[in-house]
Amino acid sequence: MTAMGIKIAPSILSADFARLGEELRAIDAAGCDYIHIDVMDGHFVPNLTFGPPVIEKLRPHTKKPFDVHLMIDPAQPSLADYAKAGADIITVHAEADKHLHRSLQMIRGLGKKAGVSLNPGTPESTIAEVLDLVDLILVMSVNPGFGGQSFIASSLGKIKRVRDMIGGRKIEIEVDGGVNADTIGDAVSAGANVIVAGSAVFKGGDYAKTIGALRTAAG
Ligand code: DX5
Ligand code: ZN
């Protein structure tokens, strides 16, 4: 367990889209820490989900922080819309847009926490120059686009290297993709403290039980 504590962030990508408000209230009551919201544009990733109007409608259903993972390119033109819709953390991909530094400045300028995400094929050196502009680093442990994929083991080395790289900075490390009771322990040992779990939570039936089991398995 890191000094910052383990946070469980269920990804609503695996929730019942026809009952999203209800699903949000259920994971809130089940004790989650963040609500992980996957925004996909059918261009940066081969899948399409939802945008600011849906997030805005979800906002009144919980007070828990909205952890908005933007898998969109470009992201800059709509950052203000996501801030306005109720995002607390806005994470952009290092592979999207042309000017990562500017994207992060924009997010902080909107008064939100800034996150940057790395695809499995992107080295951590890509973000070495922006560490003082980020509040969260999201290490993808699957190729983004879909829930229910298998955890890519080489992500563990990257999480460790990111943890070393950030030194004493107050930056959260989030892991996303294929995390379940079997993989969470290794991700936490490597240095992740925010754990995204989509299918592991929503396909598990009893959300409180599943979130509790994840916390136990996190060690
Ligand atoms: C994938 C998304 C993930 C996804 C994880 O592109 O970023 O947040 O929902 O789903 P699981 O936990 O099922 O791998
Ligand atoms: Zn995600």
Residues near 190 by Cβ (< 8 Å), separated by ≥ 6?
156, 157, 159, 160, 163
Closest to 67 (Cα-Cα) out of 35, 31, 106: 35
CA distance 69 to 87: 10
Q: What is the pLDDT of residues 97-116, one digit of tens each?
A: 999 999 999 999 999 999 99
Pocket test for ligand 1, best of 16, 143, 196, 203 (most atoms within 8 A of CB): 196
Q: What is the pLDDT of residues 28-40, one digit of tens each?
A: 999 999 999 999 9
Q: What is the pLDDT of residues 181-210, one digit of tens each?
A: 999 999 999 999 999 999 999 998 899 999
User: pTM (2 decimals)?
Assistant: 0.97
Asked whether the beta carbons of 47 and 79 are under 8 A apart, the reply is no
Atom of ligand 1 nearest to the CA of 144: 6
Cα-Cα end-to-end distance for the chain: 7
Question: Which amino acid is residue 59, in one-letter code?
Answer: R
Domains in the chain: boundaries: 3-217
- For residues 114-126, average pLDDT: 98
CATH class of 3-217: alpha beta
